[in-house]
Structures are given as structure tokens and as C-alpha cells.
């Protein structure tokens, strides 16, 4: 072998050895590289999630701080020149005053708002350095902060929203000025509740599902403790969603949804949620029964709150629809859009997204009931807010997550968003300028806080001259029907089995009211506000018509303490030594035009001269009134072709006969009925007409009106 061949052979051997060593190294390093890469992925993935979660949380917290600053700047301080306190302001400051006296809503008295709302108002009131009557600005601020917290929590619970989505959503909410109405805390609490149910369904762990389900049931109870109807709305929304998924799970192969859970899991979840809610109700009743001798029946809290919900629907529907026609059409189209989107995307998107869409939609649909009863702009926003919230989420992440792929959905969303934004009653860019004014120093935040906490309304502005001296200093005060600020301003204990008597919507609530008053009869005096002078007749319904049983009790058992009419609108009543009564005479009549859905006319056999009429109607509504607005009746009382009195009648007991009063006395002379030796005004009547309110959106006229008895009331 020559020299060249030896060199080639050595080179070949060397190359083979190097390749062998390289192969060995490769075999040795590959597993380590793979392990390192795998470890890096395991480290970076949660780090990425943490960063995204951190940015989302930071966005929410920043928005909350900025929004609280904006709310502080726009909250109106006490105006020391004010001469009146509105109905809403009166009940708002009345709730913490009741709690300061040891009276809890749902235990010692009944009202639309519950004990948790009462606690929040007390916290707000305590930030006022003045008296309770001056606490409405800080109370409003406390409730607004609660609402801001609920909005932030809602966004945090939606895992599909990243930091960018969160920023855009909260910016839109800021411009729509959700924070501008403190009562928006109501619908946002239902959104939080249903999102807990959604998180329960989306959780892969059975243990976590139980935790989320129990949390949802407890949240439903907290919502009920804010306002009784919220508990009903949230529970019904959860039941509807879970039953839908239960039924769908039986057909998951046909629906191309193999990722749905089993029917047993959905029904178990429903049982845990509802069971927790019911257990919390029983515990609440137990606590109430053990802590107060005033609490009589074990389930009185639930029974009378149900009466408030039922009665509210039939007696508070006198407002006309106030939203513009274009925005109304946009709202209806939004509901249709959301339902169509869910239907078209049901088989194509992730199961967690389906849970989110259907849970929020179910809860939002039940909330719409609120707008069919009270249809002013504020209540319309309250009722539609959950669906508008869902609609905004769809626009933000719908395309990214494949909720809609067709151009029609995208185009429809932008068109609807334009009209909703343009027509949303509280939308304003002023929210941005307010924060800017704080930043540039135009508005002093500390100065505004000082105004809110130190504002003072002189008692002489709202308490008529001489009333404080006429009241027995040893007795409590019943302010009838609604001016609860009077005992607060006079630093007196407040009596009121139903907070503001107009809220005793049904005979059962009125009987409860009277029963509690009877037990306390000699411990309080009554400040009676005259209709249309001190007390606004809600929807033109007289107090004697709205709460006839309470009126009867006050007339029979109380008399004028002093003949003075304070400020022309209040009289002071003291207990009678013996009950009094009025004279009731049956009036023969004939129905000249039976009820046809639009009008009923009654002619008296002969004219009658009366101070009041007591009528006994039986009013039925169609089944659709459960989702619409049962409208009240306008009543025209005639004599000789001229209208003697025009008022309204509400149905305090639908489907059953009930008796109520129609006063013919002029408001400034009504106090005469409580005098012992003064003649009471009378008027002559020969016919009556009953007709529903003018046709308005969502109104439901009675299907039948049957007047079985009319009595002429005169006073001794």
C-alpha cells in the first residue's frame, strides 16, 4: 500500500470515528434538548397566561379607579336652597335610618329593596359628616361604587376576554355611562350571578363545578338581599339555561355537540345551585325569626316579598313608553340578533363559548320583564342592560372566536351598535371631560369630596313651620304615604310596616301593614300627606285607591290632633279614643256599555251626592300580561255631562273582586274627613266611565272588567 492510499484510509477511519462520536453525542443531547424545550414551554405558557391575566386585572383596576373619580365629580352635593325632598331621595335616606333604629328590611318592614341594599346605604350615609337627611350624595356614591365593582367582576369572570378586549369593552361602558345610574347595580348583580353558573359549566373538574355551583346559589341569595325580584330573575335564568343544556345533551350526537356534558351532570348542577339558594333562604328566615319578636311567620320574608313582586307588576304600570321609535326598533332587533347568532353558531363554536352566550342570553331575557312594567328611560336601561352587555361582548370577540363568519352578522352588529350608541339615553362624552378636568386641576377631587360629605340641608327648608312643636316628643312618627324624610329630619323613630305605604301593593301587604300598626297604635302619631299637595299621586292614582285597607284603618282609628294644615299639605293625626266609621250606602246602577276592551260605561239609577265612591270590581288580564304590562284604568266620574273627577284605578287583586275608593274631595279639603265636627265636601255623581290607558307599547288592557257594587261614602 503506497503512502497516498494509507493517508486516504486513515482519513476514512478518522471520518467514521468522528461520525460515530457525533452520532453518539446527538443521541445523548436530543433527549435533553427535548426536555429543555418542553420545560421552557411549560414555563412560558403559564407565564404568558399570567401576564395576560395581570394586564387584564390591571386594566380592570385602572378603569375602576378612573370611573370612581368620574362618579365623584358628577355626584351632586346637597343644595342648601332645596325646599323639597323627592320620593326617591326619601326612600333612599329612609333605609339607613331604619337600620340605625334596628329595623331590617324583610324582617321588621317590607320594601322593594332588601337588607343588603340597606347595609350599603348605611355605609354611604356614614361617610356624611352631617345628619342622615344629608346623606343622599354619599349614599348614591356608595351604590355607584358597588355597581362599578360588579362591572369589573363581571368582566373578570369572562375568560374569553383578554386585556385588549377588556380595555375596549370598559371604554365603551364608560362612554355609555353605565356608572351614571346607581340602580345599574341591580342588573349587573344578575350578570355576575349567571356568569358564576357559566364558569361552573365550563369547569373540567367535578370538584370545581361543585364549588362554582354553590357560589352561584349563594350569589343568587345575595342578589335577592339587594332586591327581591333579582333573586327571581337570576334563578329563572339559571334554571332556563340548565334545562336547555339538559335537553340538548340527550341529542348531542344529532346536534353535533359531543362535548356537552351528560344530562345527569346538568341536573346535578341545577340541584346544587337551586338547593343552595333555597337553603340560604331558609337560613335567612331562621335568623330573622330568632332575632326579632316582630317577625311572626317563618316564611314571612319570602311570602311578602312575593307579594311585592306580584303587586308591583299590576299597580306600577302607568308610565308610557319613553324610548324613541328608532332606538326601540334597534333594541328589538338586538334581541333577535343575539338569538339568531346563538342558533347559527351552536354547532360550530367551543362549548365554553356556548355556555357563555346562552347563560347571559337567558338571564337577559328574564330581565326584560322589568321594562314592561315601568317604561321610563331609567327602567328601560335597567331592563335591557344585560342583553346590551352581551351584545357588546359579541362584537368584541365574536369574529375571533368564530361566533359568526358570515358578513351579514358582522354588518348587522355594526348597524345595531350605531343606533344603540346614538340612542342610549345615558351615553355621553362628558365622562371623559370630567376626568380630564380632575387631571388638569379644573376640578379639585378633595374639594368635591368635602362638598359631598359636609353638605347640609336646613331642617326648616323641608319641615313645615310648627309641625315639630305639634308632635309629641315621646312618640314615633308614621309618615303617610311616602315622606319618610320627616321623622328623619326630626330625629324621631320611624314607623312603617311597609317602607313608604304606596309599596303595599296587594291586600295581603295592606293587611300586614294594618296588623302591625294596630300592635303599635298608641306609640306613634301620623303625619298625613295630602294627595297632589305633598304626595305625588303616582300615575294619577289616589292613595285611597292604591291602599284602601290602610286608608280605612287610619280613618277609623285616627283624628286631627290640631286643625292646622301645615304648609298647606300635611295634617297631624293622633289616635281616636274609640274607632269611627263612615256611612256607606249602596247605589243602584246599570251598565249601559259593557266592557269591550276599550270602554265600560255605568249610569246610576239616580244621581248620588257623596264624598267618595267605594267600588268593587273584578278585573282579569290576558295570560300575555305576564310578559307585558297590565295597564291601569282611567276613571271619569260625570254629573250632567261634565266631568266631576278624573282619576285612575289599579288592580290590587287581579282575577278576584276587591273594594277600593275614588275620592271626590278636592285635595286641599281632604283633611276634613279626620275632623270631628267639620262638614266634609260632597259632589253629585250620575255616571262613571272606565277605560284603559291609551294604547302604548307593550301595554295589556284588561280582558274583562266587572263592577259588582258601587257605594256612596259620606262622613259623619
pLDDT band for position 389 (cuts 50, 70, 90): very high
Q: Which of 218-232, 276-290, 415-429 has the lowest mean pLDDT?
A: 415-429
- Give me the residues paired with residue 691 across strands: 634
- H-run or E-run covering 476: strand 476-480
Q: What is the pLDDT of residues 349-371, one digit of tens each?
A: 999 999 999 999 999 999 988 78
Residue 16 has pLDDT above 80, yes or no: no
What's the rounded mean pLDDT across residues 282-299?
A: 93
The C-alpha atoms of residue 582 and residue 144 are separated, in whole angstroms, by 49
Q: What is the pLDDT of residues 303-359, one digit of tens each?
A: 999 999 999 988 887 777 888 889 999 999 999 999 999 999 998 899 999 999 999
- Distant-in-sequence, close-in-space partners of 205: CB < 8 Å, separation ≥ 6: none
The C-alpha atoms of residue 62 and residue 59 are separated, in whole angstroms, by 5
Q: Which of 29-43, 139-153, 403-417 has the lowest mean pLDDT?
A: 29-43
653 closest CA partner among 629, 630, 624:
630
* Tally of CA atoms within 13 A in the half-sphere of 122 that contains its CB: 17
pLDDT, residue 42, reads: 55
pLDDT, residue 373, reads: 80
Strand order through the sheet with 600-610? 589-593, 600-610, 683-692, 633-639, 642-649
Q: Which of 36-40, 76-80, 139-143, 155-159 has the lowest mean pLDDT?
A: 36-40
182 closest CA partner among 309, 316, 71, 308:
71
151 closest CA partner among 54, 227, 64:
64
Q: Are 695 and 319 in contact (CB under 8 A)?
A: no
* Cα-trace Rg, the chain: 33
Q: Which of 51-55, 192-196, 706-710 has the lowest mean pLDDT?
A: 51-55
Q: Are 76 and 138 in contact (CB under 8 A)?
A: no
What's the rounded mean pLDDT across residues 56-73?
A: 92
The C-alpha atoms of residue 430 and residue 184 are separated, in whole angstroms, by 19
3-state secondary structure of 403: coil
3-state secondary structure of 109: strand
Sign for the CA dihedral angle at 302, 303, 306, 308 comes to: negative
Pairing between β-strand 476-480 and β-strand 524-529 as defined by DSSP bridges? parallel
What long-range pairs does 142-146 form, CB within 8 A, spacing at least 24?
143/117, 143/182, 143/183, 143/185, 144/68, 144/71, 144/75, 144/179, 144/182, 144/185, 145/68, 145/71, 146/120, 146/185
Q: What is the pLDDT of residues 136-145, one digit of tens each?
A: 999 999 999 9
pLDDT band for position 24 (cuts 50, 70, 90): very low
pLDDT band for position 52 (cuts 50, 70, 90): low
- Distant-in-sequence, close-in-space partners of 459: CB < 8 Å, separation ≥ 6: 133, 468, 489, 490
Q: What is the pLDDT of residues 474-496, one digit of tens each?
A: 999 999 988 899 999 999 999 98
208 closest CA partner among 145, 265, 142, 151:
265
What's the rounded mean pLDDT across residues 66-72?
A: 91
The C-alpha atoms of residue 212 and residue 204 are separated, in whole angstroms, by 12
Q: Give phi and psi for 84, each to the nearest 5.
A: -140, 160
Q: What is the DSSP string of 607-632?
A: EEEESEEEEEEEEE--GGGGTSEE--
What's the rounded mean pLDDT across residues 226-249?
A: 94
Q: What is the pLDDT of residues 597-619, one digit of tens each?
A: 889 999 999 999 999 999 999 99
Looking at every residue in the chain, the average pLDDT score rounds to: 88
Angle between helices 263-291 and 185-202 in degrees, nearest 10: 140
Residue 399 has pLDDT above 90, yes or no: no
pLDDT, residue 433, reads: 79
Write down all domains in the chain, each with its CATH number in brackets: 181-425 (no CATH), 459-575 (no CATH), 583-714 (2.60.120.260)
pLDDT, residue 20, reads: 53
CA distances from 238 to 99, 190, 192, 244, 312 (A): 32, 10, 12, 10, 23
Which residue did the predictor score with more confidence, 123 or 531? 123
The C-alpha atoms of residue 648 and residue 646 are separated, in whole angstroms, by 7
The C-alpha atoms of residue 499 and residue 559 are separated, in whole angstroms, by 23
Q: Are 596 and 690 in contact (CB under 8 A)?
A: no
Q: Are 373 and 324 in contact (CB under 8 A)?
A: no
Amino acid at each position: 500500500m503506497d503512502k497516498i492510499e494509507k493517508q486516504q484510509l486513515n482519513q476514512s477511519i478518522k471520518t467514521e470515528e468522528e461520525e460515530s462520536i457525533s452520532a453518539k453525542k446527538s443521541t445523548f443531547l436530543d433527549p435533553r434538548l427535548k426536555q429543555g424545550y418542553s420545560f421552557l414551554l411549560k414555563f412560558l405558557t403559564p407565564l404568558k397566561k399570567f401576564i395576560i391575566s395581570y394586564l387584564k386585572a390591571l386594566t380592570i383596576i385602572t378603569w375602576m379607579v378612573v370611573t370612581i373619580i368620574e362618579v365623584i365629580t358628577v355626584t351632586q352635593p346637597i343644595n342648601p336652597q332645596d325646599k323639597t325632598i323627592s320620593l326617591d331621595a326619601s326612600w333612599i335616606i329612609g333605609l339607613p335610618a331604619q337600620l340605625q333604629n334596628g329595623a331590617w328590611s324583610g324582617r321588621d318592614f317590607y320594601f322593594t329593596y332588601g337588607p343588603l341594599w340597606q347595609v350599603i346605604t348605611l355605609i354611604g350615609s356614614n361617610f356624611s359628616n352631617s345628619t342622615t337627611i344629608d346623606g343622599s350624595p354619599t349614599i348614591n356614591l356608595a351604590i355607584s361604587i358597588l355597581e362599578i365593582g360588579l362591572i369589573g367582576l363581571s368582566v373578570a369572570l369572562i375568560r374569553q376576554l383578554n386585556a385588549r378586549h377588556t380595555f375596549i369593552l370598559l371604554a365603551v361602558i364608560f362612554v355609555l355611562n353605565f356608572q351614571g345610574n346607581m340602580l345599574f347595580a341591580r342588573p349587573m348583580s344578575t350578570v355576575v350571578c349567571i356568569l358564576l353558573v357559566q364558569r361552573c359549566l365550563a369547569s373540567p373538574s367535578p370538584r370545581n363545578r361543585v364549588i362554582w355551583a354553590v357560589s352561584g346559589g349563594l350569589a343568587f341569595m345575595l342578589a335577592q338581599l339587594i332586591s327581591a325580584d333579582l333573586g327571581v330573575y337570576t334563578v329563572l335564568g339559571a334554571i332556563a339555561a340548565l334545562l336547555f343544556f339538559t335537553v340538548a345533551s340527550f341529542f348531542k350526537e344529532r346536534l353535533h355537540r359531543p362535548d356537552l356534558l351528560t344530562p345527569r351532570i346538568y341536573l346535578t348542577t341545577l340541584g346544587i345551585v337551586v338547593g343552595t339558594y333555597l337553603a340560604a333562604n331558609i337560613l335567612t328566615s331562621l335568623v330573622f325569626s330568632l332575632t326579632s319578636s316582630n317577625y311572626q311567620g317563618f316564611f314571612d320574608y319570602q311570602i311578602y316579598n312575593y307579594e311585592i313582586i306580584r303587586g308591583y307588576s299590576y299597580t306600577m304600570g302607568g308610565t308610557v313608553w319613553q324610548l324613541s321609535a328608532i332606538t326601540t326598533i334597534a333594541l328589538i332587533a338586538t334581541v333577535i340578533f343575539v338569538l339568531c347568532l346563538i342558533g347559527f353558531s351552536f354547532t360550530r363554536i367551543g362549548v365554553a363559548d356556548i355556555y357563555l352566550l346562552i347563560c347571559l342570553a337567558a338571564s337577559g331575557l328574564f330581565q326584560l320583564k322589568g321594562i314592561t312594567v315601568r317604561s321610563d328611560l331609567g327602567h328601560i336601561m335597567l331592563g335591557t342592560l344585560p342583553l346590551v352587555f352581551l351584545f357588546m361582548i359579541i362584537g368584541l370577540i365574536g369574529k375571533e372566536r368564530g361566533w359568526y363568519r358570515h358578513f351579514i352578522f358582522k354588518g348587522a352588529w355594526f348597524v345595531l351598535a350605531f343606533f344603540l350608541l346614538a340612542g342610549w339615553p345615558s351615553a355621553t362624552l362628558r365622562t371623559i371631560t370630567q376626568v380630564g378636568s380632575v387631571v388638569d386641576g379644573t376640578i379639585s377631587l378633595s374639594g368635591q369630596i368635602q362638598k359631598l360629605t359636609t353638605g347640609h340641608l336646613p331642617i326648616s327648608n323641608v319641615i313645615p313651620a310648627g309641625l315639630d312643636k305639634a308632635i309629641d316628643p315621646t312618640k314615633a312618627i308614621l309618615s303617610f304615604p311616602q315622606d319618610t324624610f320627616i321623622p328623619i329630619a326630626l330625629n324621631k323613630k320611624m314607623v312603617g310596616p311597609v317602607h313608604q305605604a304606596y309599596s303595599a301593593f296587594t291586600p295581603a301587604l295592606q293587611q300586614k301593614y294594618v296588623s302591625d300598626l294596630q300592635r303599635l297604635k298608641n306609640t306613634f302619631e301620623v303625619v298625613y300627606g295630602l294627595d297632589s299637595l305633598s304626595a305625588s299621586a303616582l300615575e294619577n292614582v289616589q292613595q285611597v285607591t292604591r291602599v284602601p285597607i290602610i286608608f280605612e284603618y287610619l280613618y277609623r282609628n285616627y283624628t286631627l290632633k290640631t286643625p292646622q294644615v301645615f304648609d298647606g299639605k300635611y295634617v297631624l293625626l293622633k289616635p281616636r279614643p274609640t274607632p269611627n266609621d263612615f256611612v256607606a250606602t249602596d247605589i243602584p246602577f246599570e251598565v249601559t256599555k259593557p266592557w269591550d276592551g276599550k270602554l265600560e260605561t255605568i249610569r246610576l239609577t239616580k244621581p248620588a251626592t257623596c264624598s267618595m265612591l267605594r267600588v268593587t270590581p273584578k278585573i282579569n288580564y290576558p295570560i300575555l300580561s305576564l310578559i307585558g304590562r297590565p295597564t291601569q284604568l282611567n276613571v271619569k266620574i260625570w254629573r250632567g255631562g261634565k266631568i266631576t273627577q278624573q282619576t285612575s284605578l289599579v288592580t290590587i287583586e287581579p282575577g278576584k273582586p276587591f273594594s277600593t275608593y275614588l275620592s271626590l274631595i278636592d285635595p286641599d279639603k281632604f283633611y276634613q274627613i279626620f275632623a270631628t265636627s267639620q262638614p266634609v265636601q260632597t259632589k253629585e255623581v250620575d255616571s262613571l266611565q272606565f277605560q284603559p290607558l291609551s294604547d302604548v307599547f307593550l301595554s295589556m288592557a284588561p280582558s274583562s272588567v266587572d263592577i259588582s257594587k258601587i257605594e256612596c261614602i259620606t262622613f259623619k
